[in-house]
Structures are given as structure tokens and as C-alpha cells.
Amino acid sequence: MGDFTRNFSRHEFACKCGCGYDTADFELIIVLQLIADYFDAAVSINSGSRCYMHNTKVGGGKTSQHLYGRAADITVFGVHPDEVANYLERVYEGKYGIGRYNSFTHIDTRSWKARWDERD
Ligand SMILES: [Zn+2]
Ligand SMILES: [Zn+2]
């Protein structure tokens, strides 16, 4: 049992540099819980919130939603990243940011639609 929802806790969203920045958007948390429920599988947050320094270090864009606690790079146990992205694009057609990568899926709750594909 997480302290946010059944599957998620605040510490999972914390910036990986150890600065303590761990703000997470409520809407994002709900979306992630729905993913866990839909696939009935564990969801790992590889990267959640990021401070400016860490975001720069990992090559994040200047306006990355990770800076605002509105983004998560996730993997769903036993589910291919493309399948996760397909699900998100189907359910959130016309909204949010969804990015396809080789080993994870990016989801953010920005107020406009964005899609990108960084797969090799
Ligand atoms: Zn940090
Ligand atoms: Zn991301």
C-alpha cells in the first residue's frame, strides 16, 4: 500500500539527485494508478520529478514536465513499452504528453497534447 494510492508513494517520485524535490501532480498519480489497475502489474517510475540541475544533467528539455512534477518515465512489469504507449494514446486521445522510448514510456499531464517517438 502506497501513501498516495494503492500502488504509489511519494518517495517514488523524488528527484534522483537526492535534493529532496518530490512534488507530484495529483492528476499524474491518478493516471499512473489507472495504468497499474489496467495492466494489473507493478509500475516502476524510472524518473519522476527533477530539479533544474538534475534535469539538465540527464539531458531533459528546458520546459520538461519533469521539472513541474507532472511527468513520469515508467515501465510496467511484463508489458512492452509500446503496449503501454498504445494504451495511453487510446485512453488520453487529444491530451497529455506521451513519449515512446526503447525501454520505457513517458507520460505527463500537461494541458495540451504532445507526442514523440525517440525509439531507435
Ligand atoms: Zn534534484
Ligand atoms: Zn520523461
CATH number of 113's domain = 3.30.1380.10
Q: What would the pLDDT profile of 51-72 be if each residue is shown by its tens digit?
A: 999 999 999 999 999 999 999 9
Q: Which residues lie near ion ligand 1 (Cβ < 5 Å)?
A: 15, 17, 19, 51, 54
Q: How many Å lie between the centroid of ligand 1 and the Cα of residue 111? A: 24
Alpha carbon distance 115, 51 (integer Å) = 23
Alpha carbon distance 114, 44 (integer Å) = 22
Instruction: Report if residue 68 sits inside a domain.
Output: yes
Between the CA atoms of 88, 94, 98 and 99, what dihedral angle is there, to the nearest 10 degrees?
120
Q: What would the pLDDT profile of 2-26 be if each residue is shown by its tens digit?
A: 899 999 999 999 999 999 999 999 9
Q: How many Å lie between the centroid of ligand 2 and the Cα of residue 73? A: 5
Instruction: Report if residue 99 sits inside a domain.
Output: yes
pLDDT beyond 90 at 1: no
Q: Edge to edge, what strands does the sheet with 71-76 contain?
A: 43-47, 71-76, 105-108, 97-100, 114-117
pTM, to two decimals: 0.96
Q: What would the pLDDT profile of 76-98 be if each residue is shown by its tens digit?
A: 999 999 999 999 999 999 999 99
**Count: domains in the chain:** 1
